[in-house]
A and B are shown apart, each in its own frame.
Chain A
């Protein structure tokens, strides 16, 4: 690491601009970086390349490149109606979860941010305490509640509503300070003009808080898209989501390694695209959650 500890140029306006990244990279730093990239992407590339090979190729040498490149595994997945059914289920459940959690979350966070009332802090504590209840603790009764009492077993809503409920505490905890930080002059002006509080919420507060809503929405969407435990208990057959489909495919066709790798790789793509498109939002949301 000593390679980077070079004396820096004299302090100047230019240097003051950015010097958090103190120290440049020497060859060792680049070597470590390269190693990290290889270890991080290795498994992902193994999956993607493995999907272009045959099982014979994989058995002969697991570490080789496809030779020849075969597209039939990927064609098989894309031509598999099951795959599209799972993708549809995942999408619909993630969308319902996101809409419910964002709407209910911002509605709850608004009075907690803007109103003065005696029970405000205790009410906020209810959401804070909610953070301490992981879904795993309630999972068995939740299964009974959704399937028997509510009759929502094996439905989109049956998974989306509990997911939204468990995502609410984080959402409210992130949104409240965000709403507090919004300028409130517009709202006050509207109030003087006689607009009702509910109208102000819809017409002024909600549009202003869009960036915050997108952040919590993306986090909720990704969490739902990747969720496994609750769908595992509640969904069967044609209602399964992609993670369930991937897991079941890999046990059912365990001999067809190339097919499993192709299926898994395609299932990765939506989350990766969403991440690359929304990277800023996801990162700032996570950092916001930690900094408070």
Chain B
């Protein structure tokens, strides 16, 4: 599973500025024979990448879409064409619709909780305090660990009766549910979200901090001379100036939340009683465990479409402002 960060935001903005720069760097035009040669060179350069993407990205995505129109248990040719029946089954399956809801809960909870928290920590770390570099390194540590490894440690801490968390919470008088946090349907998803926040907050802090450090000193100084307080400066100047970084982080976080798999699989496997399934855990259990490849294909297409629509909508509604402001 790729980390959410691998989806770089240029994905939605090929960068008009980049193109303009390229124009200025144009290599001298060539003659007719040179042109054919140039075409050959380009083909040689691009071929390995395009071949890899064709075989391992485009073809599997295409077969997922094709598979979704057949009833197929994984053996023999695709013959049992069922039209959109797999989609009907997926979309009327409570487990899948609940999974979609869980994904969206994580999407919105991430933005509502991690954004303010990440911003607050970034503002804090942007002050001149001792050990700032060390602090920044430490905050980023969870992000570098594999989701699986972080998940296994948290799983141990969250064990009912023997886990660390129960002891700590018990000692300050917070009651712990009988089945543990991960075993209680009403609390499991929230618990997964807490662990995800622990794991990914460092990325938000890091990106916001980088943005804050790009805010010109003169603005701070001018505002201070005018008698603005520290908080006023942050609210009126620093935060608006790093808005593009914030919007991009929201985009990455959204895409990552929609694809959530590893942490859920380790912590709960989608349980208890399907309380934490996500679209990805649903399609994996349908495809590899249930052998319902057609259903898994339909779920894949739905997952892709939801992600695609949200990415495009976000691009039009939010990120586009950044591009406009640039121009």
Contacts and interface: CB of A to CB of B under 8 A. Distances in A.
A286 B206 contact: yes
A275 B144 contact: yes
Nearest to A174: B8
Interface stretch (B19-27, B86-94, B179-187): B19-27
Interface in A91-118: 100, 103-105, 107-108, 110-117
B116 interface: no
A246 B57 CA distance: 28
A86 B288 CA distance: 23
A134 interface: yes
Contact of A286 (B44, B124, B203): B203
B139 A170 contact: no
A104 B127 contact: no
Interface residues of B, number: 127
A37 interface: yes
A37 B135 contact: yes
A184 interface: yes
Contact of B63 (A50, A141, A184, A201): A141
The winner among A1, A136, A222, A274 for most chain B CB atoms within 10 A is A136
Interface in B82-122: 121
A191 B157 CA distance: 62
Binding site of A, secondary structure by majority: helix, strand, loop or mixed? helix
A61 B161 CA distance: 11
A136 B1 contact: yes
A180 B214 CA distance: 22
Interface residues of A, number: 133
A138 B52 CA distance: 14
B31 interface: no
Contacts of B25: 114, 180, 184
B172 to A, nearest CB: 12
A126 B229 CA distance: 48
B3 interface: yes
Given A123-B46, A290-B8, 12 more contacts: A4-B127, A21-B126, A22-B128, A32-B124, A46-B156, A104-B49, A134-B259, A140-B293, A228-B146, A233-B288, A242-B146, A272-B145
